[in-house]
Amino acid sequence: MNITLSKDAAKVLKGMDSVTRERIKKGLREIPKGDIVPMQGFSDGRQRLRTGKYRAVFVYVTDQDGEKGVHVIELGSRGGVYK
């Protein structure tokens, strides 16, 4: 599965310590397993992945070749990602 990050999500991930960064990367690689819940109030199919105290907001995408993937829209701590 192809995983892409928005510019903001990549910046947040780069600023994290290495242990947290690897834990979040592992969670993203293991999608669709994990604590994933559809987000209410959005019509674009946003879902969130919970990894410890961090949340990754993402959507499923399909590229031109028909390969399925994930695009991470937002990444942050539990309190900040929902605002």
| Residues 46/59, Cβ–Cβ less than 8 Å | yes
Task: Please compute the mean of the pLDDT values over residues 44-61 and round it to a whole number.
Answer: 95
Q: CA torsion, points 13, 17, 19, 23, in degrees to nearest 10?
A: -20
**Site of tokens 């410890």:** 52
Q: What is the pLDDT of residues 11-22, one digit of tens each?
A: 999 999 999 999
Rounded CA-CA distance 4/25 in Å is: 11
Question: Is the per-residue pLDDT at 47 higher than 90?
Answer: yes
CATH topology of domain 2-81: YaeB-like fold (3.30.2310)
- The pLDDT of residue 1 is 83
